[in-house]
């Protein structure tokens, strides 16, 4: 009896150690240097980009990437980004919308229990408070259709929601993880990667043909995840990488999510790794490009907030 108990105890300890090890640092091998010029862009003078913070989830660095510390508490940003462009404004993701509390009822109990969050003002209300003319909003462009990116869709009824064909299929058949996007009754419209390679990504979609807003495929986290490159008239460039990584160290230290998180959150962890390495190569060659993971407050800190109503 004693021996059996001892063996069971040792097995539990071994399992716990094995699980703990999946949180340890394990940098991906450095990618080959990127041999590409900075793509040309001629953004119009009145193009601008603003962050719309809609809340936070309370996490730690260990939750986000291998090698992150459990004691390194981080509030993950939940935000939308407004891109002002004379051809039509875009909202990139929506953050947490007005209906987030009831929407979360669509998610499993364990998910709600494991997702402590604090709401801020929804993007639609921030735009209204700033006196924003909704007629300017041309479309919502999703980095991917997870709950925290699509929660605000019902706050923009009638606005087209741009997704890739793969992501639209994922919305339709993704199970609980896309239940909120599915429930939004949104006007989904598909776009294709009709442009050539871009900074090491195999294809691209240049939204207005001026190089200011360029979308590239970055599948893995979800089947139709994308990365959006923005180039401002000032020459400042952003890479909105969605949930390819949750914190910048995922790219700067080439650390994927820990096993538990990538098993729960990523459709194709190998594809995520490929895209982390593509972004790491871009960061090495063009360190001035501001990398903004969808949940890293440090990325959004480098983006202005919406000015108040005049
Ligand atoms: Zn996600
Ligand atoms: Zn997310």
pLDDT digits (tens, 9 = 90+) for 76-134: 999 999 999 999 999 999 999 999 999 999 999 999 999 999 999 999 999 999 999 99
Judged by its nearest atom, the ligand closest to the C-alpha of residue 96 is 2
Residue 73 has pLDDT above 90, yes or no: yes
Measured in whole angstroms, the distance separating CA 168 from the mean position of its chain's CA atoms is 16
Calculate how far, in angstroms, residue 196's C-alpha sits from the geometric centre of ligand 1. Answer: 26
CA distance 107 to 147: 9
Calculate how far, in angstroms, residue 148's C-alpha sits from the geometric centre of ligand 2. Answer: 5
* DSSP summary character for residue 22: T
In whole angstroms, how far apart are CA 240 and each of 67, 143, 185, 222, 270? 23, 8, 25, 15, 20
Judged by its nearest atom, the ligand closest to the C-alpha of residue 144 is 1
Calculate how far, in angstroms, residue 310's C-alpha sits from the geometric centre of ligand 2. Answer: 32
Measured in whole angstroms, the distance separating CA 11 from the mean position of its chain's CA atoms is 38
Judged by its nearest atom, the ligand closest to the C-alpha of residue 221 is 1
Calculate how far, in angstroms, residue 306's C-alpha sits from the geometric centre of ligand 2. Answer: 22
pLDDT in tens, 157-196: 999 999 999 999 999 999 999 999 999 989 999 999 999 9
| Cβ within 8 Å of residue 196, ≥6 positions away | 203, 204
Q: Which two tokens stand for residue 137?
A: 């909003």
Judged by its nearest atom, the ligand closest to the C-alpha of residue 265 is 1
Q: Find where tokens 């929660």 sit.
A: 151
- What spatial distance separates the first Cα and last Cα of the chain, rounded to whole Å? 77
CA distance 63 to 74: 9
């Amino acid at each position: 009896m004693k021996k059996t108990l001892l063996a069971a105890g040792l097995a539990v300890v071994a399992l716990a150690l094995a699980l703990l090890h999946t949180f340890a640092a394990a940098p991906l091998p450095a990618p080959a240097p990127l041999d590409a010029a900075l793509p040309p862009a001629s953004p119009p003078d009145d193009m601008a980009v603003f962050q719309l913070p809609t809340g936070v989830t309370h996490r730690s660095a260990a939750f986000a990437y291998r090698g992150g510390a459990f004691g390194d508490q981080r509030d993950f940003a939940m935000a939308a980004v407004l891109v002002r462009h004379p051809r039509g404004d875009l909202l990139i993701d929506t953050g947490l919308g007005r209906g987030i509390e009831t929407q979360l009822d669509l998610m499993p109990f364990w998910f709600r229990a494991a997702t402590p969050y604090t709401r801020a003002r929804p993007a639609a209300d921030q735009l209204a408070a700033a006196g924003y003319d909704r007629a300017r909003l041309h479309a919502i462009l999703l980095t991917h259709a997870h709950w925290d990116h699509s929660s605000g869709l019902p706050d923009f009824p009638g606005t087209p929601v741009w997704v890739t064909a793969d992501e639209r299929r994922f919305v339709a058949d993704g199970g609980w993880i896309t239940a909120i996007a599915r429930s939004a009754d949104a006007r989904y419209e598909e776009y294709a990667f009709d442009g050539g390679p871009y900074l090491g990504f195999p294809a691209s979609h240049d939204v207005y043909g001026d190089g200011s807003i360029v979308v590239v495929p970055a599948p893995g986290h979800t089947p139709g995840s994308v990365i959006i490159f923005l180039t401002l008239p000032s020459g400042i460039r952003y890479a909105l990488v969605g949930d390819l990584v949750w914190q910048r160290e995922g790219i700067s230290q080439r650390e994927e999510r820990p096993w538990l998180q990538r098993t729960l959150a990523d459709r194709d962890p190998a594809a995520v790794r490929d895209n982390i390495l593509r972004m790491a190569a871009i960061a090495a060659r063009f360190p001035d490009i501001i990398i903004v993971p969808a949940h890293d407050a440090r990325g959004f800190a480098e983006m202005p907030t919406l000015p108040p109503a005049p």
